[in-house]
Structure 1
Amino acid sequence: MKAIILSIAATLVGAVPTKSHKSKPFLNQVGDRTWIIGNELWNLTQGPQYGVQLFYKDHDCVGDAVGHYVSYNGAASDLNWTSASIVNQGSYRGDDYIDIAFTASEGEMHWVIFSGLAGAYQYFVNRALPVLGEFRTLWRLDNTTFPLGKTNLRDEALPPLSDYIATNKVQDETWLQPDGDGYITKYDFTDWIRTQTYYGVYGESFGSWYINPGKDYYNGNHLKQELMVHRESATGDAVQLNMIHGTHFMASSSDVFPDGKMWGPWLWYLNDGSKEDAAKKAKKEFTSWPYEWFEDEGYKSRGSVTGQLILSDGRPAANAAVFLGDNNPNKTALDMGSNYYYTAYANAQGRFKFTDVRAAQYGLQAWSNGSKIADVTTSFLHNNIAVAKSRNTNLGSLKWNVSKKTKIFQVGDFDRTSYGFQYGGAPHQHALVASCPANLVYRVGQSKTSDWCFGQTYLGNWTISFNLPDTRKHTTARNVTLIVSLAGYSSGSSSIIWANGQQIGNLTSGTPGLLNDPSLYRSMTTAGEWRYFEFEFNADDVLKKGDNEVTFQLTRNSTWHGFMWDSVVLEW
C-alpha cells in the first residue's frame, strides 16, 4: 500500500520537489482519505492517521518510521482524519500560502504552507476533545537520517536501539546501560517549555525542528517542563514531540477545553541539519510573534497588563515569578490548562509587564523566585483582571502580604525549586536522588545550603539542629509554625516530623497534597509539582533554651521516589 501511495504521489505532484523556483503550495486528494500536501521544497502523504513519505532534498525523511500524527492520553487515542480542505489562502510579503484543515471528530489540525518555506506552520482547534491530560502532535522520523537530538539543555546522539536490552529495563522507558554504568532514559531530553527556543532531531544533512514562539496555549507556569525528543524504544524511530498539553512531571492535569481553544501556530521547520540556521530562524519567528498573517479574530485580540508588586514590609518584590492565568482559580498555576497562560518575572523594583495577552478575564499570581525575596513564604493572588484588545490594563501598585512572624531558621531559598541544595538543578539524570544520604545533619549557622541534599529517598533521619538563646523572649507568641515547601514529590515515601523527640506532623504518601508527580524517578533534579505545608505546635511544650532539633524521619520508601526539597522554615 505504501508503494502505491508513493507512485500516486510521484505522478500527481512529484515526489521529489526541487528548489528551482517558487510554486504555489498545494493540497491534492489521491484516494479515499489520502492526501498529498506541500510546496516546491517538500511534500507529505497524509493518510487517515499518519503522515508518511516526507520528501525533502530528494530524500524520504520518514522512511520506515511511523511519521506524523496527533494523539491524546499517550498513544491510546490517535486522531483519525475524515476530510481535508483549504480553509484560507492568501499572500504575505510576496509569498503565497494556503491553510489546510484536516478534520477529525475531536477537532481540526491545520497546516499553513507558504511557498518557499521548508516546513509549515501548524495549529489545532478544539471541537470535541474529551477531558484529558496529555495532548500532542509529533513526528517519528527515520533514525539514520536523524541520529541526534537537541533541546536548550541537551545536544547529543540519541541512544542506539541496540542498547535497549529487555533484561536491563528497570522502569518506564528506563534501562540500565549495557556496561552497567548509568542509565538510558528518554526523560533526560526534558526541557522547560516556556524558555525553549528551538528543538528537534537532526543529522549531517537533515534537521527537523519545532519553533514555538508563542507560549500562551501551553498548560502550566514557569516551571512547566516536558519531554521533547527521544528514541522510540520499540522501533528505533527518532521522535520529535510537541507536547502542547503535557503531564509528564505533574501530579494532575485533567482539563476541559472550550470549543475553539487553539494551540499554536508553531513552526515545524526543515533544514540541512544546521543548528545555527535553526537558531537564526527561531530568532526571526520570536520577533514576528504574534504572526501578522494569521487570520483569526480571537488570536488578534490582544492587550497588555502592567503593575508593580510591593511587599507589605515595604520591599519591592524583586525578581518575583508572576503568572497570568485562570480567574478565581481552583487549580494550582502548574495544573491550569483549559485556557491561555502568561509568565513573566518582576524587575528589581517589582514592576512587571505582560504583552500580547489574549482579551479575557484573568487572575494574577506571584511567588518568590529566590534572590532578594528568598525569605517570602507567602504567595500573591489578584483576580478579575480584564484585558481588552489594543489596551493596556495598568494594575498600579499591588500590596503583597508577607508573614509578620520571626524566623528561627530557614534552609534553602523559597523559589519552588531545589536550586542551592546538593545536586539541585544538576543536568537531568536518572536515579541521581540515590546519591543523597540516608542520614543528614544540618546545623543552622554552620552548615551551607549545599550541605542539604536536593532529595530524600532512603529510610533514615534528616535533622536540622538549631540554637535558641532564650524562649522566654517570645512568651506572647506561643505558637510555632514549621513550613515545609517541596519542589516535588514522588509517591511511596512517608515521613514523620519530630521536634525535640515530639511528633509535630507527618507527610504521608497518598494523602491530599501528596499525590504522585514523577519528577524524582524521571530524571528531574530541579522541580516537579510544588507542595506547601504548615505544621503548628506550642513552643512551651516542645522548644527549649539551647540546642533544638527538627527531624524528618523517612519511615517508608520506594526506589528513586521521595521528597524533592524547596525550603524549610521555622517561625514564631
Structure 2
Amino acid sequence: MLLSAAGVFAALAAGAHAKGPFLQKINDTAHVIGNDLWNVTIGQQYGVKLFYKNQDLVGDAVGHYVSYNGAASDLNWTSASIHHQTKDYLDVKFTANEGDMHWVIFDDLAGAYQYFVNQALPDLGEFRTLWRLDNTSFPNGHTNLKDEPLPPLSEYVVSTKVQDETWERADGSYITKYDWTAWIRDQDYYGVYGDEFGSWYINPGKDYYNGDQLKQELMVHRESATGDAVQLNMIHGTHFMASSTDVFPKEKIWGPWLWYLNDGSKSDAANRARKEFRNWPYKWFENEEYHSRGSVSGRLVMSDGRPAAKASVFLGDNHPNKTTLDMGTLYYYTGETDDQGKFSFKDVRTGDYGLQAWSNGGKLADVSTTFLRNDVTVKNGKQSQLGKLKWAVSPAKKIFQVGDFDRKALGFKYGGAPYEHALVANCPGNLTYTVGKSKTSDWCFGQSAAGTWSIRFLADQKASRSSSVLTVSLAGYSEGTTSEILLNGDQDAPIGNLTTLPNDQSVYRSMTVAGEWRFFQFDIPKGKLRNGWNSIDFHVLKSSAWHGFMWDSIILEQS
C-alpha cells in the first residue's frame, strides 16, 4: 500500500527509504528519486521538495524542470521508470512526448548525472534544464567570470524596469540578469551557493552544445518576480544569436553532465570539476553511439607562408549553410592552433564534419579570410590526419586597418570590459580616428548614438587611381540603429549601408566582446579616393538607446 504524499515526503526527509539509489512512486503523476544523501520529488512538470542534509532546498521556489522556447513549453512527464541498473548506479528515466530526461544516481554521490534523449522535439531555439531554488539557502551566484551575491528581490521592487529583465536603480545604475552571462565552452563549474549549501552544474563534455567558441549564455540569476535563485543549464541556447532554430535527429543525446550538491564550498566544486573533466567521456555511460569516437589533427599554414598561429578552429556541420555560431543540430568541437598552426581534436563522435578556422588576433590579426575544409570523416578509434592545409589570405595591399581581426571587440575602448548594461551609452555620437596617429583604444567598442564616426587616412597617387575594397567586420549588432557608409562625407553616393541586419541582442544585453559575427565588403570604384587625406564615415541615420554596432575590424585594401 502506498503512503500518502505527505507521508512519503516526511519519510524521505527522515531518510526512511531503501538504501542506495531509489525510485519511489507516490501516485501516477509523482515520484521520488535519490539516495542516502538527497532526494527530490518530481511531479508532472516540476521537481520539488529537494531534501539534502534534512533541509528542503526548493522551499517556495519552482524547483527543477525542463523546457523549450523559454517558459512557453515545460515538458510534462507521462511516466517514470528504471531505465538501467548496475551495482554502482540507477538510471531513472522520466518520459515526455518530446523525449526522455535521465537521472543517473550513484550510491554515494550528492547529486546526479543527467542527460536528455530526443524523441520528438519540435524545431526550436531554446532548450534547457534548470533549478529554481530557495533564495535564502542560495544567495550567491558563481561563474568562471563572476562571483558575488545575486541582487536581492527588494532591489527590483524599488527600481524602474527599462527593458526585458533590466531595472534602473535610483542612483542610475542597473540590475540585469544578463550580467550573469559567460562563455559556455570555457565553464568548469557554475551555480548558486550559500554558507551551508551549493548547487552546481559541471559540463565536461561540451560537444552537445550549439555554437562555437563565441557562444555565450546566461548561467545563473535572480528570478525578478519571485526571488528564486536560478541555475540554468542552457543545453541549446538562443541568447545573443541572430538565428537559432534547429532540427534535431531522433535519439540525439544532450549530456551527460553532473548536477552536484555540496556545503557551498567552491574549492570542493572545483575539485569535483577537475575529476569530471579527467573522466570524460564517461566510461560508465552505456551507449554505443556515445563511445564511437575518433580524433582529427592537422596543420594550418597561410598562403603567404606564415603558420596559422593561435587561430580558432571548429569542427561542425559538413557543407554548412549556417554560421558556426548558429549550428546546433548535431555535435560540435572547438579548439585553437599552436604557434606552428597545429591542431588536434580528441574524442570526436564519428561522422562527417566541416573544419573551419579564423583569426583569433595576434599574429593573424590582419587575416580577414576564413578557412573551410569539408568532408572530414571521423571513424571509431581512428585518427584522421589531415596533414598540411593551406589557408588563402588576401593578396591585396592594405591601406589601413582599425582593430584586430578576431570576431571580437577586444582592443577598442570598453571592449572586453565585464558585462554591464548600457555601457555602449558611454561611446560618443561623433568620433574621429586618424590612421597613424590614433590608437586602437581611441575607437569605441560599440556605436549606438546618432552622429558620425570617421576614419581619416592618407592614400597615395597609386591608390587614388585604383579601385579598393572596404571590409567591415562586426562583432555583433542589435537592431534599432542603422547607418550609411560614406566616402569623404558624400551622402549623395554612399559606399554602402548597415540597415537591414538581423538582431542578435548583444549590445543591449550587456555584451562587451561579441554577439554574432557579421562580415561585409564594399567596393570603392577606381578614382574615388583622393591623392592625400580621405575619410571613411559611418553615419548613424537612426538611433535607438543601447542598440547598435559592436566592432571587430575595419580594413581598406587596394584592389
TM-score, normalized by length of structure 1?
Answer: 0.95
SS in 1 for 2:179: helix
Matched with 2:39 is: 43
State the AA in 1 paired with 2:451. Answer: G
Aligned residue for 1:505?
A: 495
User: Partners of 1:522 and 1:309 in 2: how far apart?
Assistant: 36
RMSD: 1.4
1:90 to partner: Cα distance: 1.1
Can you list the C-alpha shifts for 1:431-484, whole angstroms capped at 9, x where unaligned? 00000001101010111100000000000010001112x323675xx3200000
Unaligned runs of 5+ in 1: none
4+ residue segments displaced more than 6 Å: none
Is 1:563 the counterpart of 2:554? The answer is no
Match 1:88 to one of 81, 84, 88: 84
1:189 aligns with 2:180: yes
Do the aligned partners of 1:17 and 1:56 also contact (CA within 8 Å) in 2? no
1:4 CA drift (Å)? 5.8
Could you say what secondary structure the match of 2:331 adopts?
A: coil
SS in structure 2 of the partner of residue 361 of structure 1: strand
1:109-258 matches, within 5 Å, as 109-165=101-157, 168-177=160-169, 179-258=170-249
Alignment of 1:355-374 (within 5 A): 355-374=346-365
| Deviations 1:327-373, CA, capped at 9 Å, x for gaps | 00000000000000000000000000000000010000000000000
CA distance in 1, matches of 2:215, 2:552: 16
**Contact persistence 2:464–2:529 (CA under 8 A):** no
Residues of 2 paired with 1:289 and 1:71: CA distance?
Answer: 26
Give CA deviations for 1:121-151 in whole Å, capped at 9, x if unaligned: 0000000000000000000000000000000
Gaps of 5+ in 2: none
1:71 offset after TM fit, Å? Answer: 0.2
Partner in structure 2 of residue 472 of structure 1: 462
> 1:52-108 CA deviation, whole Å, 9 max, x = no partner?
0000001000001000000000000000000011111113xxxx2011110000000
Distance 2:189 2:298 in 1: 31
- Matched to 1:215, the amino acid is K
The 2-side partners of 1:489 and 1:6 are apart by 52
Question: How far did residue 505 of structure 1 move?
Answer: 2.9
> 1:408 Cα deviation (Å)?
0.1
Aligned length: 554
Q: 1:437 to 1:4 in 2, by over 3 A?
A: farther
Give the counterpart letter for 2:231 in structure 1.
Q
Q: Take 1:412 and 1:396, find their aligned partners in 2: how far apart are those partners?
A: 32
* 1: CA distance, partners of 2:6 / 2:297: 54
In structure 1, give the amino acid aligned to 2:497. L
1:76 alignment partner, one of 60, 65, 72: 72
The CA distance in 2 between the partners of 1:145 and 1:104, in whole Å, is: 31
- The code of the aligned residue for 1:104 comes to A
**What is the TM-score with the length of structure 2 in the denominator?**
0.97
Output one character per residue of 1:167-188: Cα deviation in whole Å (capped at 9) or x when no partner.
60000000012x3231000000
Once residues 303 and 525 of structure 2 are traced to their aligned partners in structure 1, the CA distance between those partners, rounded to angstroms, is 27
After superposition, the C-alpha distances for 1:211-251 in whole angstroms (9 at most, x for unaligned) are 00000000000000000000001110000000000011101
Deviations 1:247-304 (A, max 9, x none): 1110111000000111000000000000000000000000100001000011000000
Q: Give the whole-Å Cα distance in 1 for the aligned partners of 2:414 and 2:232.
A: 28
- Write out per-residue CA displacement over residues 29-63 of structure 1, whole angstroms, 9 at most, x where no aligned residue: 11121100000000000101000000000100000
Indicate conservation of the 8 Å contact 1:471/1:543, yes or no. no
Structure 2 counterpart SS, 1:399: strand
Q: Which amino acid aligns with 2:14?
A: V
How far has the Cα of 1:506 moved from its partner? Answer: 3.2
Matches within 5 A, 1:303-342: 303-342=294-333
Shift of 1:22: 11
**Secondary structure of residue in 1 paired with 2:178:** helix
Say whether the 8 Å CA contact 1:17–1:43 is kept in structure 2. no
Q: Paired residue for 1:549?
A: 535
Indicate which of 520, 524, 542 corresponds to 1:537: 524
2:430 — aligned with what? 439
Aligned to 1:98: 90
Q: 1:474 to 1:402 in 2, by over 3 A?
A: farther
| Equivalent in 54, 58, 65 of residue 61 of structure 2 | 65
Q: Equivalent of 2:481, from 471, 493, 496?
A: 493
Residues in 2 aligned to 1:167 and 1:134: alpha-carbon distance in whole angstroms: 29
**Distance in 2 of aligned mates of 1:22 and 1:486:** 58
In the alignment, is residue 423 of structure 1 matched against residue 414 of structure 2? Answer: yes
Shift in Å, 1:501? 2.8
Q: Is the 8 A contact 2:294 2:380 kept in 1?
A: yes
Counting aligned pairs with the same residue, the percent is 65
Matches within 5 A, 1:245-324: 245-324=236-315
**Matches of 2:546 and 2:489 in 1, distance apart?**
28
**Alpha carbons of structure 1 residues 167 and 275: separation in structure 2 relative to 1, 3 Å:** closer
Please give the secondary structure, in 2, of the residue aligned with 1:300: coil
Partner residue in 2 for 1:376:
367
CA–CA distance in structure 2, aligned partners of residues 357 and 99 of structure 1: 25
1:504/1:536 contact within 8 Å kept: no
Question: Secondary structure of 1:539's match?
Answer: coil
* Residue 21 of structure 2: aligned partner: 25
Choose the corresponding residue for 1:528, options 481, 503, 515. Answer: 515
Amino acid corresponding to residue 118 of structure 1 in structure 2: A
CA shift in 2, pair 1:458/1:262, >3 Å: same
Q: Is the 8 A contact 1:6 1:53 kept in 2?
A: no
Amino acid at match of 1:181: G
Equivalent residue number for residue 484 of structure 1: 472
Q: Determine the C-alpha separation between the residues in 1 that align with 2:98 and 2:534.
A: 59
CA distance in 2, matches of 1:355, 1:74: 33
Deviates more, 1:21-30 or 1:357-366: 21-30
Give the drift of 1:17: 3.5
Give the C-alpha shift of residue 16 in structure 1.
Answer: 3.3
Distance 2:410 2:159 in 1: 35
State whether residues 16 and 59 of structure 1, in contact with CA within 8 Å, keep that contact through their aligned partners in structure 2: no
